[in-house]
């Protein structure tokens, strides 16, 4: 049977990177085995589910290259089927109707709480009810929990997990208003979608035993389960906003490349020797659940940022230029074709030092507008009287230089030598004049990208002379 996995987010908010990693593992496992990877939107909690969240999830998955192989399944669209299965179980005597009122159920819960024991529904009131004695009310359908044995799940990550049947109770599968409960819906959907492997966060492990009741009662083959540990923050607490970015698209906004984020999330909790750089194709080749660790992993933003730098250096220049320009547009910065060409020319040098796309855009901004950039505080200090005189002199000296990187570099060396100063004493004021900053790509690269006219105009402006 072909492997089929699914990612099943609830659309109650943005896609958390813990969820994104679950999607990634489902995707990689399916691809590794030549199977399919599906998406089910679990929107049965109507009060908390929103269309905006659905769209965010789809956008996040697309950004990460994790779009499903088939159109997403909306769980609410299947409610009639969930009810049908519940009624089938009722008809087969595997479930029964219970007529407890909400008040009665609340009282049972309160009683358990007062006695400091976990609440377990006692089915004896309705389980053997003679149908002719049934109240003239809509009842809830409760599945008959197994009694007297234990349920064993051979989890592909957690190993064998056992739960005594005494821990389980007759859970509601169809409420008295005809709506299915979540745990029941998940099983019916996973069965109908022919899911072979359920890979999800280990916060769902206890649900598995309740879900097994539905599989077993229907005589359906259970899928394989793999419960993966959650992602924690550096302090060991469950990862949340206070640790830093947690929404997948937040990482996009903060300048992370999707392949860097995927690589990082993959390595968080899965490993193949000490391979750190594991691009998508390699990940598909290597990924298997047996290499997923059992301990919760800790999010390390510094490590992710480092990895992002590696991927930025490996990324195509044109793609990075497009990203930088799109960021300018979002920041309301106008640019023309000339600015785009300058950034394109500088990209091999710019990307060598940027760790995020935000840093890349910041480092490229000096090339956009014509005229001398306003120097930042650190740079302004360097524009001493002596430096300005030097710049005025340099503008004259460079006016006739051949405008090629190697030539310009040589000209600047010669200039420093003739004047008896260090190259830095020439290059630093020049850098400030051209970029407004003390850090930039090599000065000859900057001169070439800006072109002769613009470079000379900037040098003159910074020297204090009118252009």
Closest CA to 343 of 351, 333, 334, 331: 351
The DSSP letter of residue 25 is H
Give the whole-angstrom CA distance, residue 413 versus residue 250: 45
Which residue in 21, 26, 42, 228 binds ligand GLU (CB under 6 A)?
Answer: 42
For this structure, is 241 an active site residue? Answer: yes
Would you put residue 355 in left (φ > 0), alpha (ψ -120 to 50) or beta? alpha
In whole angstroms, the minimum distance from the beta carbon of 73 to ligand GLU comes to: 12
Residues 6+ apart with CB under 8 A from 405: 442, 444, 445, 447, 448
Question: Using an 8 Å Cβ cutoff, are 359 and 255 in contact?
Answer: yes
Q: How far is CA 304 from the centre of its chain?
A: 12
Give the residue with the Cβ less far from ligand GLU, 172 or 186.
186
Establish if 184 lies at the interface with ligand GLU (CB under 6 A): no
Establish if 204 lies at the interface with ligand GLU (CB under 6 A): yes
Question: Using an 8 Å Cβ cutoff, are 443 and 413 in contact?
Answer: no
In whole angstroms, the minimum distance from the beta carbon of 207 to ligand GLU comes to: 7
Q: Which residues pair with 155 in a beta bridge?
A: 159
Pairing of β 150-155 and β 197-201:
unpaired
Give the residue with the Cβ less far from ligand GLU, 39 or 398.
39
Establish if 10 lies at the interface with ligand GLU (CB under 6 A): yes
| Interface with ligand GLU in residues 387-426 (CB under 6 A) | none
Establish if 350 lies at the interface with ligand GLU (CB under 6 A): no
The DSSP letter of residue 56 is H
Establish if 50 lies at the interface with ligand GLU (CB under 6 A): no
Establish if 200 lies at the interface with ligand GLU (CB under 6 A): yes
Give the interface segment with ligand GLU, choosing from 5-13, 44-52, 107-115, 241-249 (CB under 6 A): 5-13
Among the options 238, 241, 378, 422, which is catalytic? 241
| Token code pair at residue 141 | 């359908």
Residue appearing with tokens 């109240």: 135
Which residue in 89, 153, 173, 186 binds ligand GLU (CB under 6 A)?
Answer: 186
The residue sitting closest to ligand GLU, measured at its beta carbon, is 200
CB atoms within 10 A of CB 1: 7
Question: Using an 8 Å Cβ cutoff, are 96 and 142 in contact?
Answer: yes
Residue 241 annotated as binding site = yes
Q: How far is CA 28 from the centre of its chain?
A: 15
Give the residue with the Cβ less far from ligand GLU, 142 or 200.
200
Establish if 9 lies at the interface with ligand GLU (CB under 6 A): yes
In whole angstroms, the minimum distance from the beta carbon of 205 to ligand GLU comes to: 11
In whole angstroms, the minimum distance from the beta carbon of 27 to ligand GLU comes to: 14
Establish if 248 lies at the interface with ligand GLU (CB under 6 A): no
- Would you list which residues are annotated within the binding site for ATP? 241
Residues at the site binding ligand GLU, with contacts judged by CB under 6 A: 8-10, 42, 186, 200, 204
Catalytic machinery residues = 241
């Amino acid at each position: 049977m072909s492997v089929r996995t699914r990612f099943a987010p609830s659309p109650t908010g943005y896609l958390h990177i813990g969820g994104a990693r679950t999607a990634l593992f489902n995707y990689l496992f399916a691809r590794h085995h030549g199977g399919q990877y599906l998406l089910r939107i679990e929107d049965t909690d109507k009060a908390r589910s929103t269309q905006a969240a659905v769209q965010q999830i789809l956008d996040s998955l697309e950004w990460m290259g994790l779009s499903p192989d088939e159109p997403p399944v909306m769980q609410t669209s299947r409610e009639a089927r969930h009810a049908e299965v519940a009624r089938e179980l009722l008809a087969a005597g595997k479930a029964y109707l219970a007529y407890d009122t909400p008040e009665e159920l609340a009282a049972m819960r309160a009683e358990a709480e007062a006695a400091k024991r976990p609440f377990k529904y006692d089915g004896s009131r309705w389980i053997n009810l003679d149908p002719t004695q049934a109240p003239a009310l809509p009842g809830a359908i409760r599945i008959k929990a197994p009694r007297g044995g234990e349920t064993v799940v051979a989890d592909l990550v957690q190993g064998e997990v056992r739960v005594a049947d005494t821990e389980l109770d007759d859970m509601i599968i169809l409420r008295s208003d005809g709506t299915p409960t979540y745990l029941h819906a998940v099983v019916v959907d996973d069965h109908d979608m022919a899911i072979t492997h359920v890979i999800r966060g280990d916060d769902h492990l206890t649900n598995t035993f309740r879900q097994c009741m539905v599989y077993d009662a229907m005589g359906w083959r259970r899928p394989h389960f793999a419960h993966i540990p959650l992602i924690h923050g550096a302090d060991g607490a469950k990862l949340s906003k206070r640790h830093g970015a947690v929404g997948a698209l937040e990482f996009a906004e903060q300048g992370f490349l999707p392949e860097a984020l995927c690589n990082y999330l993959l390595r968080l909790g899965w490993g193949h020797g000490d391979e750190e750089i594991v691009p998508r194709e390699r990940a598909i080749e290597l990924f298997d659940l047996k290499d997923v660790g059992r301990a919760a992993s800790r999010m390390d933003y510094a490590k992710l940022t480092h990895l992002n730098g590696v991927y930025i250096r490996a990324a195509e220049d044109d793609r990075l230029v497009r990203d930088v320009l799109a960021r300018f547009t979002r920041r309301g910065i106008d640019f023309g074709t000339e600015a785009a060409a300058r950034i394109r020319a500088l990209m091999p040098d710019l990307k060598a030092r940027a760790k995020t796309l935000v840093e890349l855009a910041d480092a490229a901004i000096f090339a956009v507008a014509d005229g001398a950039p306003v120097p930042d505080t650190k740079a302004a200090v360097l524009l001493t009287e002596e430096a300005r005189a030097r710049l005025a002199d340099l503008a004259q000296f460079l006016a006739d230089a051949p405008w090629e990187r190697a030539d310009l570099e040589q000209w600047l060396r010669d200039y420093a030598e003739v004047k008896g100063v260090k190259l830095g004493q020439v290059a630093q004021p020049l850098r400030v004049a051209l970029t407004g900053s003390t850090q930039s790509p090599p000065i000859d690269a900057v001169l070439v990208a800006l072109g002769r006219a613009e470079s000379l105009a900037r040098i003159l402006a910074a020297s204090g002379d009118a252009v």
